[in-house]
Structure 1
């Protein structure tokens, strides 16, 4: 009797299992987020198109095709090359287009963006000024001269008291190319480009990857990222030119090279003293401060290519992309914890400077 009952229980249990719906397979894990990091471009629109196209970020017309990718460009879009404005306009456009596909475009403030806002135009090319020129540029330049005539004449006569008014006018016009006035208006804190730069961060962290143009010193690592970004934006808005500004501080995020070298001729910082700890000690301190896996920087060109250093905790991505430097065009792809440097062939149009 007991054996028959046990058989009935087993048959009932088997029937219940057979009738039960199969358990659904667990949903597949989402693919790791893809990040593309691009170093300094310095006015080379052709090489920017080569890099962005090779990375699958833009289509043949320059529109976003990167899907859910996050692009981080680490600053120094401008100066040295002939077409800073073309790259700026494309990045502005991509920042608006990428979110529609679930992507994101982060453009950091580099020291050359800060220099343009604060009026340091040592590296701005004639072609960059010409890009802003139009049919009214000559008249606009003349109106500016007349408005500042007394100031301009006083400046020239401080060097040459005998200089005549017509000679001063001609000298000033020669030193003020067409498009210069428009460039200065666009780059002012209230101008289209100036406002855009001010809205961009100086430091960003994405999936544990810490991005900054120059670097973060152990001194600055005591400041939260939001505070650093607020200070940079404030300094840009008020056009701070002083030597102690965060925009010019050799220990600050736009200029610091101390994570790459301790050569005082390069860093402009004495390589001695308690504040200058070895890179092997400073790097983990900085990363720990922000709970980051690694720091990725531009600013200091290395024409050998992207460098992955200190076991992947420091990555340098300024490879001299621009024709000015002639380095290998490149980008860094980050998928999860996998770091993949890519070298991009320079197209014939980019090599010839045809934009």
Structure 2
């Protein structure tokens, strides 16, 4: 089983069950374990002890093993398996499962070769209860939005969206942040550990450049708090002469779609589904949707899908689906923004599903896929999130019941790809790393 994002409606409902790829086959990579952080500009770091493992503690409170805890109910219309759709009024209930079952409940077949949806015995059709309406914000005024920097006319050239370095002064270092998924405390701890924020959570990295690789919300307890922190750091970094930017992940598309379209049906070859059903099934937290405001929507909708920084091609998903949206970075970003601005529900759904694919850089064909993207968009190495490292390496299958050991980013595909999703939702680790690795 993998923790891939699951959504109603497999792409090939009549093709029969498919063989699950062998996740124990390693992609011939290595871990990067950096030296203990000393903080930006050599400032001494207060080496307090902290934990990057937060997934199980939160899950034990919400999915207790005694079966008496809160149910995780998903309203789905026409969801199905490889054998075909089920009743369109079906509701999947995730109840009484322990932390070990959590990722299985959110599995989706998003492999590069197609969608391999599997039956999930933890989900049983029940009668739907009253659905929660999507938050309606269309009539509110759009307050001022914190920008992440102006458009990049030449992605390959060094850019200084805020005060440029003085004569002889180099640009600040580049950091990347893996998938956060609502784990705000873990994010603050790791940013502080790297010397990028102070003890009060404010920018302390001068001219440093930070890129978040997407997936701020869902599964963890405080996705909106994560978004608020990133927006705050964007403003504070700008004032200090650095910058803080972010990519759009597939969970941003899903979250925005759940808000915009709610239970409106979307068409798939396996039947009818909805964004709201898929969002709930993929760990959507109602408290995030309830706190979503117009300035969050405006900011999220303008995030780029691809970035290029110091020769690193930055992506959220380890997929070649970006090639379907354009032959340059501006073309891809414009195409995705065009879908969000003018596309209908089915175009949004198609975009979400494309960027949910994964594992394109694994195995013997992985380096070829990486080169295809690098040759098209530039750069000498890909840095991505999306696919948790424990599933790339097979470390999740440990028999001793211990959390997966994630010492740092994972370098693979002939050293051409760096994976940054440390699996914080599965007791892994939230990763922040300085480039190059």
Q: TM-score range by the shorter chain?
A: 0.5 to 0.7
1:96 to 207, 219, 235: 235
| Aligned-pair CA distance for 1:36 | 0.8
| Paired residues for 1:182-261 under 5 Å | 183=292, 186=293, 191-217=294-320, 219-220=323-324, 223-238=327-342, 240-242=344-346, 247-250=351-354, 254-261=355-362
Mapped pair 1:73 → 2:215: no
For residue 89 of structure 1, report the CA deviation from its aligned partner: 0.7
- Kindly report which structure 2 residues correspond to 1:124-143, keeping only aligned pairs within 5 A, or say none: 124-129=284-289
- Structure 2 equivalent of residue 62 of structure 1: 201
Preserved CA contact (<8 Å) 1:117 1:236:
no
Match of 1:282 among 365, 369, 380: 369
Equivalence for 2:412? 309
Question: Highest CA radius of gyration, 1 or 2?
Answer: 1
Normalising by structure 2, we get a TM-score of 0.49
Q: Distance in 1 between matches of 2:246 and 2:301?
A: 11
The answer for unaligned runs of 5 or more in structure 2 is: 1-165, 259-274, 391-404
CA shift, 1:32, in A, is: 6.6
Q: Do the aligned partners of residues 221 and 283 (structure 1) sit closer, same or farther apart at CA in structure 2, a change above 3 Å counting?
A: farther
Contact 2:196 / 2:203 at 8 angstroms: preserved in 1?
yes
Q: What root-mean-square deviation, in Å, do the aligned CA atoms of Structure 1 and Structure 2 show? A: 2.6
Taking structure 1 as the reference length, the TM-score comes to 0.60
What is the match of residue 38 of structure 1? 177
Aligned length: 234
Provide the rounded CA distance (Å) in 2 between the counterparts of 1:259 and 1:70: 28
1:33 to 1:97, Cα distance in 2 relative to 1, 3 A: closer
- What are the superposed Cα offsets for residues 272-315 of structure 1, whole Å, 9 maximum, x if unpaired? xxxxx922222112212222111111011113532111343100
> Are the equivalent residues in 2 in contact too, given 1:117–1:239 (CA < 8 A)?
no
1:87 aligned residue (194, 215, 226):
226
In structure 1, stretches of 5+ residues that fail to align are: 1-26, 130-178, 263-276, 340-355
- Partner SS for 2:351: coil
Q: Supply the distance in 1 between the matched residues of 2:350 and 2:207 (Cα, whole angstroms).
A: 33
How many angstroms does 1:29 deviate by? 6.0
Equivalent in the alignment of 2:428: 327
1:255 Cα deviation from its structure 2 partner: 2.4
Give the equivalent residue in structure 1 for 2:134. none
Please name the residue that 1:297 is paired with: 384
User: SS where residue 312 of structure 1 aligns?
Assistant: coil
